[in-house]
Amino acid sequence: MPINDRSAAVIASDLNYMELALAEAEAARRVCEVPVGALVVHDGVVIGSGSNATERSQDPTAHAEMVAIRQAAAQAGSRWLTGATLYVTLEPCAMCAGAVVLARLPRLVFGAFDPKTGACGSLRNLVQDPRLNHRCEVVGGVMEQECGELLRGFFSDLRMAAGKGQTSPGGLAGGDGNGGASGTGG
């Protein structure tokens, strides 16, 4: 299903789950991480959730999607998450899109588009590449305004802190913590 078909199967529960993903993103912001949140939902049950943790863990792979997918795979007892949906507040990067393919998630719903690092339609579309052994339905732009505003506010605060001689809000060293997600406002 094309990413730019915004009528593509946005269902009422998508809004509810995206609100939960936004709560995860808010939690990340409170600890000075790039505010991205993610959930994996299977049969109406959240089986994995996460927010960015790259700064706290000093792990470049600790993106919200990776945290949620790892947790969901552990919960499911399988590396394949067939029948589940990944909800994330920002379009996944190449690493996270690769994880979506490897986990065989059939559906991805994201909020804000990422024109700098988005790998699910903006720069490239790994999750729907016909050369790969798995593709998924992509629904982008769900609660796009809310998701984008959270990111823009974070990066605005980060720039303000840098202008005052601080390393960043909360004293963390620079960087956007999500491989360039600052494109949504930074």
DSSP state letter for 168: S
DSSP state letter for 52: -
3-class DSSP assignment, residue 72: helix
Catalytic residue selected from 65, 91, 144, 146: 65
Residue 8 CA to residue 136 CA, distance in Å, equals 13
Q: Could you count the other beta carbons within 10 Å of the beta carbon of residue 57?
A: 12
Residue 90 CA to residue 94 CA, distance in Å, equals 12
H or E element, residue 109: strand 107-112
- Joined together, the tokens standing for residue 110 give 């994201």
Query: How would you write 32-50 as a 3-class SS string?
Result: CCCCCEEEEEECCEEEEEE
User: Does the active-site annotation cover 146?
Assistant: no
3-class DSSP assignment, residue 19: helix
Q: Annotated active-site positions, please? A: 65
